[in-house]
Structure 1
Amino acid sequence: MEIKAKIGETTFTCRGDLETYFRPFREATIGTDFTFSTPFGEQKLIYADWTASGRLYRPIEEKIIEEIGPLVANTHTESNITSTKMTLAYQYAKEIIKHHVHAGKHDVIIMEGPGMTSAVNKLQRLLGLRVPERWKARLSLADDERPVIFVTHMEHHSNLLSWTETIGEVITIRPTANGDVDVDHLRELLETYAHRPLKIGAFTACSNVTGIQTPYHFLAKIMHEHGGICFIDFAASAPYIEINMHPADPLEKLDAIYFSPHKFLGGPGSAGVLIFDARLYQNRIPDHPGGGTVLWTDPWGNYKYIEDIETREDGGTPPFLQTIKAALAIRLKEKMGVERIQKREKELTSLLLSHLKQIPRVRVLEGHREDRLGIVSFIIEGMHYNLVVKMLNDRFGIQVRGGCSCAGPYGHYLLGIDKEQSETLMKQVEQGNLFVKPGWVRISLHPIMTNEEVYDIIRAIRHIVRYADTWKQEYMYDQTKNEFYHRGDDRYVRGFFAL
């Protein structure tokens, strides 16, 4: 909330309670007052790319350095102080994460790779749905034997292409006229594919392009009513919402979830999270056989794997430090409070949308939707998205992201690209003309941002629209990278070699 009063020729602004509440968290974030040089002088960095990655949080970094760092050692033993502390801290960190998402007694956690992409691919391998490419052509499955995977029209590539490369058949649920998931269509599809042996719903909880959320608990209920299972991708929304794998209605339970703690405040450098119902696990051999996965071995080729899933699927040196950091980032989220996070996000998003939609030549994707998390994507008519991003960086210090946000199919829907247009565009792209690749500029907000930063973003976009024809003359386009460079950039590179 913000109250403005004009006394004489001066306007006084009274900041709302939430901006004040989040100020200490903002002040503890590394880089808040960072400045950097551009061809147009020194710019103060305004970070508005939170959906891509979170930011480092000084108290977490200091805790890792001062308290955890001196005790860092490999796990797998409790015979010395360092290994004991790391083993216990690793286990406790996983319990913190499970508790945060309301995991149940049958749910197991596996920390995998740097984020959600690694986690969902791990899940697919554990379910036996991935076959090595060289052998896939030899695998003969009748259509009726293939698993079927239902996805929404809003998926990003990691929750779409990874399923496309399984032995299953991927079916997209159509959108409603308002851009939501058509739950009636899902019911129709489940009836059509009722004979399939395995029916999976792999749904995003929130679009990483528009911030629009899906009714994922209701989708889970529909899947379970038709004998299916439901997996939810929380990559875009996990830092901002409550996650509940087991709500009051047992039919709404989530059979697996995956997300990227690196997107949390304090989370960069953490590991991807996969939590799933252990009853889905039917494997005799772990995904990564190796140290820490066996109970015993002998010289004659005999061995026995550990029964505990979390242990046997954690071969080699586990990501103990990455997991500890993920747990600390989650604790920070809990300290900020989900209710306050959501209220502040709504304030900032409403402020941004109300002004952005009034700027000439600016089109906000799904601009009619106010009910979203703090993710807003837009295009400026007649301007390449990456040129807009470059100008925002160079002239105003604003960090946003251009492109398709790794959500090509959703982009087709948002931009109204039909199949014929798509084929024409893709042919040009394959021939090296990356300029025609569809895309947009994405702004993603965080509760620690100030109202003034949002106003700075709005003013910057207004200036770019106004002076675009003049300013664009200062940039060169690299077709091989689909990026723009200021014509004076090479001077800074040459300076590296001056002795």
Structure 2
Amino acid sequence: MDTRAIREQFPILDQEVNGHPLVYLDSAATSQKPIQVIEALNSYYRQNNSNVHRGVHTLGTRATDQYEGARNKVKQFINAYSTQEVIFTRGTTTAINMVGYGYARHFLTEGDEIVITEMEHHSNIIPWQQAAKFTGATLKYIPMEEDGTITLDSVRSTITDKTRIVAMTHVSNVLGTVNPIKEVAEIAHENGAIIVVDGAQGVPHMKVDVQDLDCDFYAFSGHKMCGPTGIGVLYGKKHLLEKMEPVEFGGEMIDFVGLYDSTWKELPWKFEGGTPIIAGAIGLGAAIDFLEEIGLHQIEAHENEIVQYAQGLFTDMEGLTIFGPEKRSGLITFNIEGVHPHDTATVLDAEGIAVRAGHHCAQPLMKWLNVTATARASFYLYNSKDDVDRLVEGIQLAKEYFGDVF
């Protein structure tokens, strides 16, 4: 994969920050956008800006064709059975909340179980906490191994015939752990439960086939996969989406409105109340075109090479703690002994290196790791081994600086 040629397609990366060439290592928070996505947004607003579905004029037809065309791209990208199973949302958080409100609160009762893990992002914890409080269901956690993975034995011992929902991240945004979703889905289904997958860190970095995984719901965000912010997807099996209740009511999602009652449109529009995120969906479609032209398998292989290179260098550094398993997705979370992660990130930023520091919306996991915060370097298709070298040099500077201070 020609990383240099790929990098040239991302205008934002061609700049200096604090007098140094930018090294962007925060793609797990949000990825940068290639020129193709930027131009798709520009073209829509310049030439086709109109509301969708309702109008019969030319601009409305163009906008509708682009919007629904993006839905079809998503369907093919994740191998959904039908475009009716692809719901556009504001992002992963909204998508998971839709399942928490539209499904869990209507079908769970007291004594039922919701099973999750301690490695979840807050977006895949809080909706289930709220659903459990609302319905009287019990929230349970699958035990984690010392390296931040889960075993199928632990999954089997936690899921019971009372379990109704299993919610799990595909890839941990802190540890880089890649969970065995297909096998967990099989165990969940054997016990009569459904599985909801947080795919925010999965879809951008590996080829995802929702039919092969046999997941019941899969949520992801456009902005982590070279697309715009404010657009995401909830995939759901058609028979489950048909049972679910909408969580937003108003225009677009209705079939018939009377004075005292209303009926809903068919899927997927039943869940897309109001004017949808038209430009965002079109931008997401352009991002999918971009990623597929390069190839998800190539992107995954490239990230694996980068993270293995980084792990090798990190392991040789004294006073550095790396969190997570040896086999991981494209990120490394670490702490420097005696240095707060925010201080580490500040020193790195002074060198033009962007990393994330904090609890990463994963406070239960921070408690499990026995830390208050960590620093995280996350890699994507536009990163190279040179970026890793710059990161290592920056970490060494932070060690030297705070070693002198203390």
In the alignment, structure 1 segments of 5+ residues that lack a partner are: 1-17, 132-140, 418-437, 474-499
- Contact kept? 1:234, 1:258, Cα under 8 Å: yes
Which of the residues 234, 237, 258 maps onto 1:277? 237
**Cα distance between partner residues in 2 of 1:292 and 1:453:** 46
CA shift in 2, pair 1:382/1:370, >3 Å: same
User: Helix, strand or coil: the match of 2:52?
Assistant: coil
Which of the residues 151, 155, 159 maps onto 1:190? 159
- Contact kept? 1:348, 1:445, Cα under 8 Å: yes
- Contact kept? 1:73, 1:86, Cα under 8 Å: yes
- Contact kept? 2:170, 2:179, Cα under 8 Å: yes
How much does 1:317 deviate? 0.5
Report the equivalent of 1:223: 188
**Cα distance between partner residues in 1 of 2:173 and 2:261:** 45
Report the equivalent of 1:124: 100
Report the equivalent of 1:34: 15
- Contact kept? 1:270, 1:325, Cα under 8 Å: no
| 1:261 partnered with 2:225 | no
User: Helix, strand or coil: the match of 2:66?
Assistant: helix
- Contact kept? 1:230, 1:254, Cα under 8 Å: yes
Which of the residues 396, 399, 403 maps onto 1:462? 396
- Contact kept? 1:294, 1:303, Cα under 8 Å: no
Amino acid at match of 1:324: I
Report the equivalent of 1:481: none
Report the equivalent of 1:289: 249
Higher relative contact order (Cα pairs below 8 Å, separated by 6+ residues): 2
How much does 1:372 deviate? 0.8
Amino acid at match of 1:183: L
- CA deviation digits over 1:271-302, x for unaligned, max 9? 0210101212465863222112223335xx15
Which of the residues 33, 48, 51 maps onto 1:71? 48
Which of the residues 66, 79, 91 maps onto 1:102? 79
User: Helix, strand or coil: the match of 1:289?
Assistant: coil
Amino acid at match of 1:379: N
- Contact kept? 2:249, 2:273, Cα under 8 Å: yes
- CA deviation digits over 1:117-160, x for unaligned, max 9? 111111212115289xxxxxxxxx9743xx31111232111111
How much does 1:34 deviate? 0.9
**Cα distance between partner residues in 1 of 2:389 and 2:59:** 49
* 1:302-317 correspondence to structure 2 within 5 Å: 304-317=262-275
In the alignment, structure 2 segments of 5+ residues that lack a partner are: none
**Cα distance between partner residues in 2 of 1:310 and 1:143:** 30
- Contact kept? 2:70, 2:281, Cα under 8 Å: yes
| 1:46 partnered with 2:23 | yes
Q: Which moved more, 1:235-244 or 1:213-222?
A: 235-244
Amino acid at match of 1:126: G
* Paired positions, count: 402
Amino acid at match of 2:263: Y
Report the equivalent of 2:339: 383
How much does 1:213 deviate? 0.4
Report the equivalent of 1:320: 278
Which of the residues 290, 303, 309 maps onto 1:345? 303
Amino acid at match of 1:27: E
User: Helix, strand or coil: the match of 1:275?
Assistant: strand
* 1:117-156 correspondence to structure 2 within 5 Å: 117-129=93-105, 143-144=110-111, 147-156=112-121
How much does 1:406 deviate? 1.0
- CA deviation digits over 1:350-406, x for unaligned, max 9? 11111112112111113xx33111110111111111011011101x11000111111
How much does 1:469 deviate? 3.7
Identity fraction in percent = 25
CA shift in 2, pair 1:313/1:66, >3 Å: closer
**Cα distance between partner residues in 1 of 2:262 and 2:381:** 49
CA shift in 2, pair 1:79/1:105, >3 Å: closer
How much does 1:314 deviate? 1.3
* 1:351-430 correspondence to structure 2 within 5 Å: 351-366=309-324, 369-394=325-350, 396-415=351-370
Report the equivalent of 1:203: 168
- Contact kept? 2:44, 2:279, Cα under 8 Å: no
Amino acid at match of 1:259: F
TM (normalized to structure 1)?
0.76
CA shift in 2, pair 1:448/1:142, >3 Å: closer
- Contact kept? 1:392, 1:460, Cα under 8 Å: yes
**Cα distance between partner residues in 1 of 2:303 and 2:48:** 38
- Contact kept? 1:345, 1:447, Cα under 8 Å: yes
| 1:157 partnered with 2:117 | no
Amino acid at match of 2:292: E
| 1:83 partnered with 2:17 | no
CA shift in 2, pair 1:105/1:97, >3 Å: closer
Report the equivalent of 1:169: 138
Report the equivalent of 1:93: 70
Report the equivalent of 1:443: 377
Amino acid at match of 1:87: T
**Cα distance between partner residues in 1 of 2:330 and 2:244:** 43
Root mean square deviation, CA, Å: 2.2
Amino acid at match of 2:96: V
Report the equivalent of 1:495: none
How much does 1:106 deviate? 8.7
- Contact kept? 2:71, 2:83, Cα under 8 Å: no
**Cα distance between partner residues in 2 of 1:66 and 1:158:** 33
How much does 1:413 deviate? 2.2
- Contact kept? 2:80, 2:86, Cα under 8 Å: no
TM (normalized to structure 2)?
0.93
**Cα distance between partner residues in 2 of 1:126 and 1:202:** 15
Amino acid at match of 2:373: G
Amino acid at match of 1:333: L
**Cα distance between partner residues in 2 of 1:405 and 1:203:** 17
